[in-house]
Amino acid sequence: MHGARDSNAQSRLLYERYVKPVEHEHHGEYVAVSPNGELRFALTLVEAMQRAEEELGSGNFVFKVGEIAVGRWL
């Protein structure tokens, strides 16, 4: 269970560092965030997941901007 806790801490850090500053511009959209801070915005969850896989590779996080909902796209 320790890995899940680390993943949750990493996701919160990524959101605070890279997504929070642009919340007002992208509220309600979805965003894929790579561990190094690259962002890919999309209007749907599926599109965000596809863009993450195609453009960022594996190990990214997907958020709904402005809401506390997170998932890791492996």
Helices (H), 1-74: 2-14, 23-26, 45-51
Q: Averaged over 9-23, what is the pLDDT? A: 93
Give the pTM.
0.81
Q: What is the pLDDT of residues 34-45, one digit of tens each?
A: 999 999 999 999
Q: Which domain holds residue 42?
A: 2-73
Tokens of 70: 């997170």
**What integer pLDDT is reported at residue 61 of this predicted model?**
93
Average pLDDT value for the chain: 87
Q: Based on the structure, what is the number of domains in the chain? A: 1
pLDDT(1) > 50: no
Tokens of 63: 């958020």
